[in-house]
Structure 1
Amino acid sequence: MTEVFVESEFAPLRVVVLAQSEVAIPRSAPDSADLRFLPEESLRLNPVGVDMREGAPERQAAWERERDSFRALLESYGVRVLRPRMLTGPEKGEAGEDGYANFFARDPFFTVGHQVIEGSMRFRHRRHEVLPAREIMRAEVYPADCGYVAVPAPEVPVPGDPTLGPGPFLEGGDVLVLGRHVFVGSSGLASNALGARWLAKHLGPYGYTVELVRLHERVLHLDCALGLVRDGLLVVCEEALPDGVPEVLRGWDRVGVDFEAATRLATNGLPISPGVYVTDPAFSFVGDALERRGTKVEYVDFSITRSLGGSFRCSTQPLLRRT
């Protein structure tokens, strides 16, 4: 039986869910202001309105190889890697013009301490993304000594409302864990204040503090602006944080990245342990800075994954991180 517990963003990673590579970008994407976080070339390189397997089979194969290389690296460090199932035909069919996604395991659910929480996704094409992970929940979470809850379903918005209504919206990419302190990012694109309020209400009885962190309007999630590498060391794009680095982190050593690098996911590496960090070769400047600070850095080319708006942290969801 799997133990389920996430102590922090950098406690040794022992069990993790690694995303599949499955997406159909919504037909409305080229005209959507909500996708302003994507790299400029994303909609040019990736097919719109059709499954990537059909629209760009060679790119699909290369994308799968990226994830396979990452899996091999994780397993080389003794990490147990779980994979969600693929979407079914009916699930894809029900999505219609909204498209569908099964490509970033970080967001549709997340783990804080002994609590596994299904999120509430703002983008319509991602609202059923948790379904392929439900088999993992049945096999790994139900038998474990942990909580398992879901954020309330979002309210139906008024037609034409660009906010998509009051939510609550709460996505794992916005949730960073540091012991009993939990940060929740909010830019208007994903998690919102009501989602953070729900999380504070749920976690409060367990001794957790939840802090809302405002983000630049072009940043999708908090982990696209801030990454905790180990106790006392972080990677950050300060331009993406209107109120600056959260107070409890202001004494930490910082590896800074500019806004352009942040939009390419420079902060979205993944600590395997406090001493080992994974990033893309495109961000060797981050790797060099971390190595000068005593961190071993592993590199995996994740360029196709990044073109879809996420990277190493986005592609994973830990079930067990503990010292």
Structure 2
Amino acid sequence: MLQLNVKNESSRLRAVVLGTAENNGPTPTIEEAYDPKSLQHIQAGTYPIEADMVKEMDALNAVFEKYDVKVYRPQIIENYNQIFSRDIGFVIDDIFIKANILPDRERELDAIQYIIDQMDPNKVVRPPEEVHIEGGDVMVWNDYVFIGTYKGSDYKDYITARTNMEGVQFIKDLFPNKIVKAFDLVKSKIEPRDNALHLDCCFQPIGTNKGIIYKSGFREEADYMFLVNLFGKENLFHIEREEMYHMNSNIFSIAPDVIVSEKHFTRLNTWLRANGFTVEEIPYAEIAKQEGLLRCSTLPLIRD
């Protein structure tokens, strides 16, 4: 049986679900775009092709092998995008929470059912229907759970608003001993440079006391200040609008001192190395065109 354990974002990784780009299906139509960045690339004719994305995910898999991480992959669904395993579920402590995602992505959960079957059924939770929550919005940080949400009254009009306040309350009720902090994120259906699709698009804790942050991703300055006060300004790497667009905060930690990052993130990778991190650089720029990156395509199950 899988002994789930995830207490934070950066402890030594032992087991992970890595999405797959195989059998990814045709380029979506404009109507089928889930986010403004995909839409932009569909319109420009630069939407990523399957072979390139498979290559990028193979590079990530190779890094996991190097660090002796057990990797699970979803079962292949014909002509279907299964890259972003982070959206469909997440682990807090020893509980696996199935995400209530966009209804037409339900099949992605079925494709990892064989992994869920290896968990203690008492430790697998499915929130009620009115609860919207996606893994990209949820970050465990020891005593804290950080959750990205959108508090605007026009929530239902935004396909980019993925986690609602009912989702925040659900996690509060499930983990009464955790400090659950909600962050109101900036959303846009048309301008990817002003759309924080998930919390990990504008913030991610790394190491033991550091983080990567994009100030303008937060609708309320108080939410941003909460993180500055918690981590200390000198411990936060501030990314710019263009870096946020290229998903610089969406890297992935294998250990407190080991980070997988995109090879074009020059400024970030230089800062990480200067702060004592080992940086495993891989190409992931094609996958980034779908407004998701390294954290989005991984679902950690066990960390030390």
**Number of residues of Structure 1 aligned to a counterpart in Structure 2:** 281
* SS of 2:253 mapped into structure 1: strand
Confirm or deny: 8 A CA contact 2:100 2:134 kept in the other structure.
Answer: yes
- Counterparts of 2:13 and 2:143, CA distance in 1: 18
Confirm or deny: 8 A CA contact 1:119 1:150 kept in the other structure.
Answer: yes
Between 101-110 and 36-45, the greater mean CA deviation after superposition? 36-45
**What's 2:125 paired with?**
149
**What's 1:60 paired with?**
50
* 1:56-135 map, 5 Å: 59-87=49-77, 101-121=81-101, 123-135=102-114
1:128 deviation in Å?
3.1
* SS of 1:101 mapped into structure 2: coil
Confirm or deny: 8 A CA contact 1:39 1:307 kept in the other structure.
Answer: no
Aligned-pair identity in percent equals 25
* 1:199-218 map, 5 Å: 199-204=171-176, 207-217=177-187, 218=195
Which consecutive residues of structure 1, in runs of 5 or more, have no partner in the other structure? 48-55, 93-99, 154-166
**Which of 240, 245, 261 does residue 258 from structure 1 map onto?**
240
- Distance verdict in 2 for CA 1:314–1:125, change over 3 Å: same
* 1:163-312 map, 5 Å: 167-187=130-150, 188=155, 189-204=161-176, 207-217=177-187, 218-243=195-220, 244-247=224-227, 249-251=230-232, 253-312=235-294
**What's 1:6 paired with?**
6
1:213 deviation in Å?
0.7
Confirm or deny: 8 A CA contact 2:28 2:42 kept in the other structure.
Answer: no
Task: Output the amino acid matched with 2:174.
Answer: H
1:278 deviation in Å?
0.9
Confirm or deny: 8 A CA contact 1:39 1:309 kept in the other structure.
Answer: no
1:25 deviation in Å?
6.0
In the TM superposition, what whole-angstrom CA distance separates every residue of 1:39-62 from its partner, at most 9, and x where no partner exists?
Answer: 733543466xxxxxxxx8xx2112
- In the superposition, the TM-score normalised over structure 1's length comes to 0.80
- Counterparts of 2:244 and 2:104, CA distance in 1: 24
Confirm or deny: 8 A CA contact 1:216 1:240 kept in the other structure.
Answer: yes
1:27 deviation in Å?
3.6
* SS of 2:63 mapped into structure 1: helix
- Counterparts of 2:271 and 2:205, CA distance in 1: 14
- Counterparts of 1:25 and 1:199, CA distance in 2: 35
Confirm or deny: 8 A CA contact 1:229 1:271 kept in the other structure.
Answer: yes
1:69 deviation in Å?
1.0
